[in-house]
Amino acid sequence: MSRYAIRAENLSKRFWLYGERHTSLKQRVVRGKLPKGREFWALRDASFEIERGSTFGLMGQNGSGKSTTLKVLAGIYRPTSGSVVVDGRVSALLELGAGFHGDLTGRENIRLNGAILGLSGKQITSAMDQILDFAGIGEFIDLPVKIYSSGMFVRLAFAVAVSLDPEILMVDEVIAVGDEEFQRKCFDHLFDLRKRGTTIVLVTHSLGLIRDMCDQAMWLEHGQIRGLGPAVEVADAYIADVNEREVQAHHVTSAEASPSGESKRLGSGEVRITSLEFLDGDGTSSPVLLAGAACTMRMHYSAHEDISHAVFGLGFLHESGVNVSGPNSGRHGSWSLKSGDGYVDFVVEELLLQPGTYEVSTAIVDRGHMFDYADREFDLRVRGRGDQEPGLTRMPGTWNDPVRVTAERQVNTATQENFLARS
C-alpha cells in the first residue's frame, strides 16, 4: 500500500465565464454566435501529497479555489491539466444535501448514498442504526428530505458520510450549519476516525480547527498555492498576511483615532484628549494591535493653560458590552502639564486583550475633578496570531511539567491522613 492516499501534480482547473448564453435553439439561430467567454482558472499548477492516515486542511479566502480543489480530488470535476491519484474509498460531504433526492425519505436516501459509495445492501443495513443514532432527526427519517431544514440536511449527510467506514473522508465547511451540540459530536467523531487511520481532507475557515486537527495544510490564493507545510506554520503565515492587509487598508484612512465631532465631551476643558494613537512593538503607528505582543497607546492632549496635577486614564469596553480594564496613571502619581500640545504613553509589554474590537474611553482628572472625559470615543482592533485562547483576556502564567505520583507516595499520604484522623 502506498504511503500517500492522495498525490496531485500540476493540478489545474479552468472554467469559462460567459456574460450571456443561449437558452434555446431559436436564440442560437436569431442571435448567431455569441462572443467567446472569459477563461477563469480556479486552480493552477497545484502539486501536493497527502499521507495516508493524516488530516489535511485547505484554507484561504472565499473564492481562492478550496472547494474546487476538493471537488477535483473527489472526482466530481475532471482536471483541465495535471494529474491526481486517489488511493482509497472516498466519502465526500461537499455541499448541503448533495446527492439527496428531495422526494425520497431520509432512510431511502441513506440507501441511495450507500449504493453510490459502492456498498452492498447488507453493509448499508448493518450501518443503518448507527447512522440514525448519529443523525438524531427522529421521526423525520421517514419523511421526504425536501421538507428538511438545512441543519437536518447536514445531520443526515454527515452521518452517512462518516458512518460507512470511509478510507478517505473529504468535508467542505458545511458542518458550521449545524448546532453547537451536533458540531461537537462531529468533531469528536472526526477525532475517532483519525485514530482509526482515516485520511481526512478538510476545507475550513477556522484557524483553530486547522491548528488542532490538521497535520498538514495548504493555503490557496486565487487558485495558486501560497503556503504548504505543517498546519501550524501555514496558519501562522495566513493570519500574519490577513493582519498585514488589514493594517494597510486602515492606514489609507488614518493611523490615529480621533473623537467624533458630534459627541459631547465632559469635564471643565482646561486640557483635552485630541487623539489616541496605537503603536506596535517597533514604535510604528498602527490601527491594529496583535494580542500577546508589545505595544504603546499614545494619548495626545492639548492644554489651554498650565495644569498642576493631572492623572490620565483609559477604559476598554469589549464589543459584547463587558468592561474589560481601566488602567490609569494615578498609581505613579500625578503630572504637571505646561500649556500647549503633548502626549502621554501607556506602554504595554504584552497585550493581554484577546482578538476583538474594543471601544476605548479616555479621561484626565485631578483628585476628583474632571478636566476631560471621552466616553467610548475611540476604537481599538486587536487581532490574533492564530494561537488565541478563549475569553476576553489572557492569564499570564507558566505550565510546569507533569509530576507522576508514585504508589509509595500515595501510601505515605494515606498513612498521614489516617494518623491525623485518629488524632
Segment 207-230, tens digit of pLDDT = 878 888 899 999 999 999 999 999
Residue that is last in its domain, among 191, 221, 245: 245
In a domain, 417, yes or no: no
Residue 40 vs residue 29, higher pLDDT: 40
Beta partners for residue 225, in sequence order: 220
Give the number of domains in the chain.
Answer: 2
Q: Based on the number of CB atoms within 10 Å of its own CB, is 98 exposed (0-12), middle (13-18) or buried (19 or more)? A: middle
Give which of 380, 389, 394, 250 is closest to 317, Cα–Cα: 380
- Cell 451536533 locates to 182
- Do 200 and 129 have their domain in common? yes
- Do 197 and 260 have their domain in common? no
- Do 230 and 183 have their domain in common? yes
In a domain, 190, yes or no: yes
CA distances from 349 to 244, 260, 289, 382 (A): 21, 29, 12, 15
- Do 19 and 56 have their domain in common? yes
Residue 316: pLDDT above 90?
yes
**How does residue 419 score in pLDDT terms, banded at 50, 70 and 90?**
low
Distance CA 303, CA 272 (A): 7
- Do 169 and 39 have their domain in common? yes
Give which of 97, 147, 85, 92 is closest to 117, Cα–Cα: 92
Distance CA 362, CA 339 (A): 20
Full 3-state SS string of 5-31: EEEEEEEEEEEEECCCCCCCHHHHHHH
* Residue 314 near residue 288 (C-beta atoms within 8 A): no
Q: What is the pLDDT of residue 260?
A: 52
Distance CA 196, CA 132 (A): 21
- Do 240 and 265 have their domain in common? no
- Structural domain for 311, as ranges: 256-383
Residues 36-55: what's their mean pLDDT? 90
pLDDT in tens, 97-134: 566 788 889 889 888 877 876 778 888 888 888 888 88
In a domain, 413, yes or no: no
- Do 238 and 269 have their domain in common? no
- Do 158 and 100 have their domain in common? yes
Residues in the chain: 423
- Do 156 and 216 have their domain in common? yes
- The CATH code of the domain that includes 320 is 2.70.50.60
- Do 286 and 240 have their domain in common? no
Distance CA 53, CA 168 (A): 8
- Do 72 and 209 have their domain in common? yes
In a domain, 158, yes or no: yes
Give which of 313, 312, 304 is closest to 271, Cα–Cα: 304
In a domain, 284, yes or no: yes
- The CATH code of the domain that includes 132 is 3.40.50.300
In a domain, 409, yes or no: no
The residues, any chain, with a CB within 8 Å of residue 164's CB and separated by 6 or more, are 91, 114, 117, 119, 123, 124, 127
- Do 372 and 241 have their domain in common? no
Residue that is last in its domain, among 245, 268, 287: 245
Q: What is the pLDDT of residue 84?
A: 94
* Residue 260 near residue 377 (C-beta atoms within 8 A): yes
Residue that is last in its domain, among 245, 276, 307: 245
Record the pTM: 0.68
Question: Of the ranges 29-43, 170-184, 244-258, 333-347, which one carries the lowest mean pLDDT score?
Answer: 244-258
